[in-house]
């Protein structure tokens, strides 16, 4: 029995039954021990949850910080997909990220990696943190919603598409809700999964294109006239015109 074993067991239980059903007593039972013995290694339930959260964040595949040749766009995309995967694999993490401080070593390594890539966008410092927030807070919000939807599907014993039908059942008839449905149909994509993949990709495209636009906007008017299509090369070069 040590902190690591306890944290690992907590992650296992959280993955299996979710945050709502997780309790110190159930964890202790899982470890074959009395509820209170866990408190010798851990100050409180919240403390343990923060340990579990950081452990899960340790599974993120971060880019090699030495690889400054790589395209920052590709690296940001990779990090975004990794972050999304985290919330889908460990839905309880997404319920906690918004409420906890999140300064464990793995969380810090992640944001450090993100900052390293962001520096290579060519964005000036005052805009860099805002653009970073645009990207990663989007991924957090999107993935949280997505993961909780999946959770409700599992709880109801339905596929994502079946569950969507039942939701539309509750909504149909109310005039104002119907064009919500039309919008989805117009968007194309026959399954929930397809629509979600497309929306996520498009949103990433949107935010990355926005970063390019912000970078261009910091050029002089003359620069812009010479380079009307925006920076199609790594925008690093925009820093030293």
Partner DNA sequence: ACCTGAACACCGTTCAAGT
Query: Contact positions toward DNA, by CB under 7 A?
Result: 1, 22-26, 33-37, 39-41, 44-46
Q: Which does 112 bind (CB under 5 to 8 A by kind): its own copies, DNA, none?
A: its own copies
| Residue 113 three-state SS | helix
Task: Name which of 33 and 217 has its Cβ closer to its own copies.
Answer: 217
| Residue 199 three-state SS | helix
Q: Which does 155 bind (CB under 5 to 8 A by kind): DNA, its own copies, none?
A: none
Angle separating helix axes 192-217 and 178-187, nearest 10 degrees: 80
Give the distance, in angstroms, between the CA of residue 83 and the centroid of all CA atoms in the same chain: 4
What residues between 109 and 168 interact with its own copies by CB under 8 A? 109, 111-112, 115, 125-131, 133-134, 136-142, 144-145, 148, 152, 167
What residues between 172 and 191 interact with its own copies by CB under 8 A? 174, 176-177, 179-180, 183-184, 186-189
Angle separating helix axes 105-119 and 45-57, nearest 10 degrees: 40
* Contact status, residue 72 vs residue 114, Cβ threshold 8 Å: no
Structure tokens at 138: 């989007």
Task: Name which of 47 and 179 has its Cβ closer to DNA.
Answer: 47
Torsion angle of the four alpha carbons 171, 174, 178, 180, in this order, in degrees rounded to the nearest 10: -60
Stretch that binds its own copies, among 34-42, 70-78, 153-161, 207-215 (CB under 8 A): 207-215
* 35 lies in the site for its own copies, by CB under 8 A: no
Q: How far is the CB of 48 from DNA (least distance, A)?
A: 8
């Amino acid at each position: 029995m040590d902190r690591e074993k306890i944290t690992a067991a907590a992650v296992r239980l959280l993955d299996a039954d979710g945050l709502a059903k997780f309790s110190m007593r159930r964890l202790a039972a899982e470890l074959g021990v009395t509820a209170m013995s866990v408190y010798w290694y851990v100050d409180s339930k919240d403390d343990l949850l923060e340990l579990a959260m950081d452990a899960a964040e340790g599974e993120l595949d971060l880019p090699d910080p030495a690889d400054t040749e790589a395209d920052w766009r590709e690296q940001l995309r990779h990090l975004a997909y990794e972050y999304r995967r985290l919330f889908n694999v460990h839905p309880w993490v997404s319920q906690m990220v918004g409420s906890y401080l999140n300064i464990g070593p793995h969380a810090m390594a992640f944001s450090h990696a993100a900052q390293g890539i962001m520096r290579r966008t060519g964005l000036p410092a005052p805009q860099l943190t805002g653009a970073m927030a645009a990207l990663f807070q989007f991924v957090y919000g999107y993935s949280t919603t997505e993961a909780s939807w999946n959770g409700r599907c599992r709880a109801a014993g339905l596929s994502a598409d079946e569950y969507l039908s039942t939701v539309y059942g509750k909504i149909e008839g109310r005039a104002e809700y119907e064009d919500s449905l039309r919008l989805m149909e117009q968007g194309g994509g026959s399954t929930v999964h397809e629509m979600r993949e497309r929306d996520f990709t498009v949103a990433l495209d949107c935010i990355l294109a926005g970063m390019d636009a912000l970078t261009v906007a910091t050029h002089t008017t003359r620069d812009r006239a010479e380079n009307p299509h925006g920076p199609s090369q790594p925008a690093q070069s925009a820093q030293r015109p």
